[in-house]
């Protein structure tokens, strides 16, 4: 059981341990020490989203890393997948992103990438945690790391994004509204889509350090839906604060989520021969996606929730496409990690080649009713799943859904929540069973420890 690392790095409320400047200083030194033990010169790139606390944590990590003898390359505000790409492009030892993704500004966190631009494996995370217990030491003065700022980071990444689609892709005549969530894509995304020919209107592009993800972006798609309808645009694209999630809005204002975007890509890639291996979803992927893949003859696998687990399944089974309902989409033949801009471009490429609108492209996937209830709890959410009363109701719900749906009960990897998800063809049944199980979890959480 790791002390600090969750399913997507280290995350929490700013000012509360471990999301403090003191911890980040120690973390930087620990990362530098662990990488140094693996041999060779160590250079770490650091990017961040637009949270005001990012300045503080950037400085603390920088100080810790150079104290441990690592060189540092500062990228400034940069999407998470851009850091993954630039870690590889700059031949760095590792990449660090300062971000809490889709969370509000008062949260922040740290994500890591390996030299290959992939999430760190469990063994390396455990080694870093163990090093945090060692005394803070500074290497000899002549061995202290140096710091440089990468001035062309944004243009490098923008060119990479455009390189993932054919040169023949021409978006002239396409009207697009982008919602950048006042986050890390606010400069790059409008440029990329405009340079490919689209008529771009952008919202969520005025970050002030506090408004990231506030009533905008992929977690609040209704804002984009209103903008698409008002502009009479062809579609809308919503990113989250750090640019690794994407959701879309069709011309009628309807939300097109990650499952539906995977359907668009998988059906086209299967027909063209680009799709290799299985399509990988998660425990939360809508049953309608699984059913659609079965009808196509495409193998479908479910990973644990978290894009790192989707990546593991894809690599294990030789796949290239997978993702989550939330919009984390991995196209491994184009990018090493979930990349919202790249994923959106892959969808637009399909629409352009097939001459279909977004709503036409998703029409073949029939989603079933799905409801997720988040129950906020104190302490370890995972322990509640073993509560006798919770287990009893969970088994009864599963029995009632047998043959017509699914129930998933899991702790959040990033927040103190238990997530209750029920899906089936009957929407009223889904709501009733989800509420019943959620009420049971709340009751168990309120009990005093014995």
| 25: Cβ contacts below 8 Å, ≥ 6 apart | 60, 61, 63, 64, 136
> Which two structure tokens, joined as six digits, stand for 395?
């088994």
Going from the C-alpha of 315 to that of each of 116, 125, 272, 299, the distances in angstroms are 13, 19, 21, 15
Q: Looking at 101, 218, 285, 343, which residue is catalytic?
A: 101
Pairing of strands 43-48, 71-77: parallel
- The answer to whether residue 99 is catalytic is no
DSSP 3: S
Q: Which residues pair with 408 in a beta bridge?
A: 421
Query: Rounded CA gap, 303 and 154, in Å?
Result: 33
**Residue from 418, 396, 339, 411 nearest 162 by CA:** 339
Among all chains, which residue has been given the structure tokens 């003898």? 69
Region class of 197: left (phi > 0), else alpha (psi between -120 and 50), else beta:
left
The alpha carbons of the chain give a radius of gyration, in whole angstroms, of: 22
DSSP symbol at 141: G
Active-site annotation, residues: 101
């Amino acid at each position: 059981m790791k002390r600090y690392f969750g399913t997507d790095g280290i995350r929490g409320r700013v000012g509360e341990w471990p999301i403090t400047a003191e911890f980040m200083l120690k973390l930087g030194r620990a990362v530098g020490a662990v990488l140094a033990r693996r041999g060779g010169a160590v250079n770490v790139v650091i990017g961040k989203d637009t949270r005001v606390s990012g300045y503080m944590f950037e400085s603390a990590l920088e100080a810790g890393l150079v104290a441990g003898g690592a060189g540092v390359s500062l990228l400034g505000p940069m999407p998470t997948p851009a850091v993954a790409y630039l870690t590889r492009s700059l031949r760095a030892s590792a990449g660090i992103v300062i971000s809490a993704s889709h969370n509000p500004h008062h949260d922040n966190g740290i994500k890591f990438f390996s030299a290959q631009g992939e999430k760190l494996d469990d063994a390396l995370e455990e080694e870093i945690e163990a090093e945090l217990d060692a005394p803070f030491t500074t290497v000899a003065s002549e061995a202290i790391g140096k710091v440089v700022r990468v001035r062309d980071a944004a243009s490098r990444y923008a060119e990479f994004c455009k390189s993932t689609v054919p040169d023949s892709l021409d978006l002239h005549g396409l009207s697009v509204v982008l919602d950048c969530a006042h986050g890390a894509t606010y400069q790059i995304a409008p440029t990329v889509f405009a340079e490919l020919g689209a008529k771009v209107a952008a919202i969520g592009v005025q970050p002030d350090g506090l408004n990231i993800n506030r009533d905008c972006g992929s977690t609040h798609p209704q804002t984009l839906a209103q903008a698409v309808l008002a502009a009479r645009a062809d579609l809308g694209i919503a990113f989250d604060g750090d640019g690794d999630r994407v959701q879309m809005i069709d011309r009628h204002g309807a939300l097109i989520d990650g499952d539906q975007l995977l359907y668009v890509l998988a059906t086209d890639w299967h027909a063209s021969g680009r799709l290799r291996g299985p399509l990988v979803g998660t425990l939360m992927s809508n049953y309608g996606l699984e059913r659609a893949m079965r009808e196509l003859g495409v193998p479908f696998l479910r990973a644990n929730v978290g894009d790192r687990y989707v990546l593991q399944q894809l690599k294990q089974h030789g796949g290239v496409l997978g993702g989550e309902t939330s919009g984390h989409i991995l196209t491994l033949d184009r990018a090493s990690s979930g990349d919202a801009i790249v994923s959106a471009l892959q969808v637009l490429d399909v629409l352009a080649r097939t001459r279909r609108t977004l709503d036409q492209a998703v029409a073949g996937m029939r989603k079933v009713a799905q409801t997720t209830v988040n129950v906020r709890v104190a302490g370890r959410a995972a322990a509640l799943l073993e509560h006798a009363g919770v287990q009893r109701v969970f088994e009864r719900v599963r029995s009632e859904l047998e043959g017509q749906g699914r129930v998933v009960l899991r702790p959040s990897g990033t927040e103190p929540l238990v997530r209750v998800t029920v899906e089936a063809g009957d929407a009223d049944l889904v709501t009733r069973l989800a509420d019943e199980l959620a009420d049971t979890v709340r009751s168990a959480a309120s009990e005093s420890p014995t």
